[in-house]
Chain A
Amino acid sequence: MQELQFLGATGCKPHCREEILRARNSSMEPSKLVLLQLKLFLILLLGAAGVCMGAGEKLWKGLGTTPHLESIFRGRCNEFISLENPELGDKNCSEIWEAFKTVFHKDPCSVLPSDYDLFINLSRHPIPRDKSLFWENNYDVVTAYAQNGRRLLPITNMLYGRIVDLLDWCRKENSSELDYQSCPTTEDCENNAMDSFWKKASSQYAYDSSGVIYVMLNGSEPSGAYPVKGFFADYEIPNFQKDKVTRFVIWVMHEIGQPHIESCGEGSMKILENRLKEMEFKYECINDYRPVKLLKCLDYSTHPECVFTSAAESTQQRIPFLFGGGWGSSLAFLLFFFGINFRNSILTF
């Protein structure tokens, strides 16, 4: 069609509009008019599709590359070394960035964990004994509890984890540029830049861990506290060194006010226990480890699960005297529990 020649991907250009108007003004038979209108409609449709393609359609399911990726990367790397860990001063953030960048030579669905080998070699550093913290479905509370590495060192407080924490990155399909519109997730393809990164980093982190290994799991997660397929199961557990690890301590945390789907020894927790014991690791499991529970309580200070006993204890002591032990004191406790709640809710104001 003559009109299409003028179009390209950007819709109807001025001179083609003139042609159409000229064609309209000249006397036309009704059938030809309808045909012309159909042509116009098709042109507009193709034009719109062209605009969509040109402007960058979302090819993948995940968020696009974080803007200013390089600046954020370098800033975090330098901050980690210069400000927080000067003993790692021999590491060079420019080198580390260059090593990371090499994955952008590959197609967005062809990135393998081994593509990060150089990056990991340059950014790897020792983990102090008894400081490793592994986790699933608990990012916020892990971050809060770890206190930026002061209490424990989850992977996001290691140099390689901190640099890319919460960032997204991938290259465009048919160009060497980064894709800021979208990036592939696991659903899109297995060998995407980010999954491969975390597979490699997780393996290294587990390999370098020693002493007591802490693991925080979520007992309110509907699909189970221990995901049988996940980074912990597939990339971390297989890489623990038997001669360096003394024992596993698992904390099964439950969300405040939500159902306890699984606790120690139940469901998937039994699977984890068996697996670790088969590997001849010592195993210990605690439900709602108190220090972490206290942290979770910050947002639920008046919730019954979070009320301090200091008020309850003094009143509780009086009751057994009246009712005797056992069932009587439980009833008394319940009565006072509600009473204290009421009193505490007044106090917070």
Chain B
Amino acid sequence: MVREDSSPWSQKCRCFMLGLVVILMLGIVVIFVTVIFARRRDPPAELPQWKGGGTTHNLKEIILGRCFTYIRMVNPGLRKDCLKIWETFENAFISKNPCNITEQDYQPLMELAAHPILCNKTLLWSKTNELAHQYTKVQGSLLTLEDTLLGYMADKVTWCGSPSSTEMNYQSCPRWNECTNNSNTIYWKMASKIFAEAACGVVYVMLNGSISQPFRNSSIFGSVEIHHLNPEKVPLVKIWVMHNIEEQSSDSCSDSSIKDLKSIIEGRNIAFSCENDHRDVQFIQCVRNPEQKACRICGTDH
């Protein structure tokens, strides 16, 4: 119904209002189109499905807690900025393809968190994970990589990022056999290299004599650590080949793989010695098997 009293002013006002509404509607349409277009260009970030377990939950809290515990209680006097270490650690792998991690990615972290170790205290190990760590925890003076800050923080945790996200991937992370340059493997390779380079004095090595090849070129020990010991700082490498306590002690020091190890070490101008079933380490094995013949103590039979 046409209003009889429409003045020229209210007509202009109505035009104006109409124009405004049209512009508003056009604006909404434009925004709508942009959004759809944008979404089509960047599909919702889908995390890649890897075969290994995802990033450990609450990784940041765990790593920070470990860092502070390490500098306060495990190695008091070591001055490190734990918050900065966490940031640098995260930046190494966040938003990156976890199969394409490089040493450069971790270099800043390695520089921040590396610290010197005392001479004659280094214990390397291969295929003797549990025994080597039980030994250092009880004996208290030798150090494995996991007793240094870099190893202590990352021990038994998993982490990876993904290129389509700024978050860590909690669903899955690549396993070693899916891609070798993954976030975890590169970290441990670099940390092992640094640990070996920092070693000075006599270096001890715990190997497993109860497996077919106590020394393997493919292990981190065989492929990284042994080649980064500095002959100017390390005069001697002492190998302890441990056997399962229930077995008869065999002479694994004459094993062909140990002979290979000997030539590698001596080829680098470092002296080599080998001992089967080092007694101090046997005590740890005996705790679990006190009835074994090798474990009976003189004069205290119970």
Q: Which residues of B contact A306 (CB under 8 A)?
A: 283, 297
Partner of B58, one of A93, A291, A309: A93
* B236–chain A nearest beta-carbon distance, Å: 14
Interface size class of A (residues with CB under 8 A): 35 or more
Q: A79 near B68 (CB under 8 angstroms)?
A: no
Do the beta carbons of B68 and A71 come within 8 Å of each other? yes
Q: Would you call A82 and B56 a contact (CB within 8 A)?
A: yes
Which residues does chain A contribute within 8 Å of B65, judged by CB atoms?
A: 71-76, 78-79
Chain B's interface: helix, strand, loop or mixed, by majority? helix
Q: How many of B's residues come within 8 Å of A, CB to CB?
A: 38
Cross-chain contact B61 with A67 (CB below 8 angstroms): no
A66 in complex: contacting residue of B72, B134, B299, CB < 8 Å: B72
For B72, the chain A residues whose CB sits under 8 A away are 66-68, 72
Q: Please tell me if B15 contacts chain A, counting CB pairs below 8 Å.
A: no
A308 CA / B286 CA spacing, docked (Å): 11
Tell me, yes or no, whether B100 is within 8 Å of chain A by CB. no
Q: Which of A146-170 contact B (CB under 8 A)?
A: 147, 166
Residues of B contacting A75 in the complex (Cβ-Cβ under 8 angstroms) = 61-66, 68-69
Complex Cα spacing A229 to B300, Å: 31
The residue in B58, B139, B284 that gathers the most chain A C-beta atoms within 10 A of its C-beta is B58
- Total A-B residue contacts, Cβ distance less than 8 Å: 121
B45 an interface residue at 8 Å Cβ cutoff?
Answer: no
**Contact at B283–A72, with CB atoms within 8 Å?**
no
Which residues from A are CB-within-8-Å of B58?
Answer: 78, 82, 93
Question: Contact: A78 with B298, CB < 8 Å?
Answer: no
What is the chain B residue whose CB lies nearest that of A163?
Answer: B65
Give the docked Cα–Cα distance between A79 and B137 (Å): 19
CB of A144 closer than 8 Å to a CB of B: yes
Chain B residues whose CB sits within 8 angstroms of the CB of A304 once the complex forms: 298-299
**Among candidates A74, A145, A294, residue contacting B283 with C-beta atoms closer than 8 Å:** A294
- Give B83's nearest chain A residue, CB to CB: A71
Q: In the assembled complex, which residues on chain A have CB atoms less than 8 Å from the CB atom of B66? A: 75, 79
- Least CB distance from B235 to A in Å reads 17
Decide yes or no whether B73 CB sits under 8 A from chain A.
yes
Is A343 positioned at the interface, with any CB of B under 8 Å from its CB? no
Known: A71-B68, A73-B65, A295-B138. A301 touches B280 (CB 8 A): yes
Given contacts A78-B65, A82-B56, contact A68 B82 (CB under 8 A): yes
Report the separation of the CA atoms of residues A313 and B298 in the bound assembly, to the nearest whole angstrom.
Answer: 9
Q: Quote the shortest CB–CB distance from B84 to chain A (angstroms).
A: 14
Contact of A145 (CB < 8 Å), options: B73, B139, B287: B287
Whether a CB of chain A sits under 8 angstroms from the CB of B302 is: yes
Residue of A nearest to B138 (CB): A144
CA A305 to CA B72, docked complex, whole Å? 36
Binds B, one of A10-18, A106-114, A282-290: A282-290
Query: Please, how many angstroms separate the alpha-carbon atoms of A16 and B296 in the complex?
Result: 79
Among residues 26 to 79 in chain B, which have CB atoms less than 8 Å away from a CB atom of chain A? 56-58, 61-66, 68-69, 72-73
- The reply to whether the CB of B14 lies closer than 8 angstroms to some CB of chain A is no
A298-B139 contact in complex given A75-B63, A75-B69, C-beta closer than 8 Å: yes
The interface residues of chain B lying within 8 Å CB-to-CB of A82 are: 56-58, 62
A310 at the interface (CB under 8 A from B): yes
Q: A298-B280, A301-B279 are in contact. Are A93 and B302 (CB under 8 A)?
A: no
A287 CB contacts on chain B under 8 angstroms: 302
What distance in Å separates the Cβ of A22 from its nearest Cβ neighbour in chain B? 46
On whether the beta carbons of A288 and B68 are closer than 8 Å, the reply is no
A299 within 8 A of B: yes
Is A348 close to B, CB under 8 A?
Answer: yes
Contact present for A68 and B280 (CB under 8 Å): no
A66 CA / B66 CA spacing, docked (Å): 14
- Tell whether A83 pairs with B295 under 8 Å between CB atoms, given A294-B286, A298-B138: no
**Does A307 lie at the interface of the complex (its beta carbon under 8 Å from any beta carbon of B)?**
yes
Across the interface, which residues of A come within 8 angstroms of B137, CB to CB?
144
> Is the CB–CB distance between A79 and B62 below 8 Å?
yes
Q: Does B294 belong to the interface (CB within 8 Å)?
A: yes
Residues of A within 8 A of B73 (CB): 66, 166
The verdict on B293 contacting chain A, using a C-beta distance below 8 Å, is: yes
Complex formed: what's the CA distance from A189 to B294 in Å? 51
- In the complex, the chain B residue whose C-beta lies closest to that of A76 is B65
A286: nearest chain-B partner, CB-CB: B302
**A76-B65, A78-B57, A291-B288 as given contacts; A83 in contact with B297, CB under 8 Å:** no
Contacts of B134 in A (CB 8 A): 147
Quick check: A308 and B296 within 8 Å, CB to CB?
yes
Is A48 an interface residue, CB under 8 A from the partner? no
- Residues of chain B with a CB closer than 8 A to A79's CB: 62, 65-66
B residues at A contact (CB < 8 Å): 56-58, 61-66, 68-69, 72-73, 82, 134-135, 137-139, 156-157, 279-280, 283-284, 286-288, 290, 293-300, 302
- A interface list, Cβ under 8 A from B: 66-68, 71-79, 82-83, 93, 144-145, 147, 166, 286-295, 297-299, 301, 304-310, 312-313, 337, 340, 348
| Contact sample, A vs B, 10 pairs, CB 8 Å cutoff | A74-B65, A78-B65, A79-B65, A83-B62, A144-B137, A145-B287, A287-B302, A289-B302, A294-B287, A310-B293
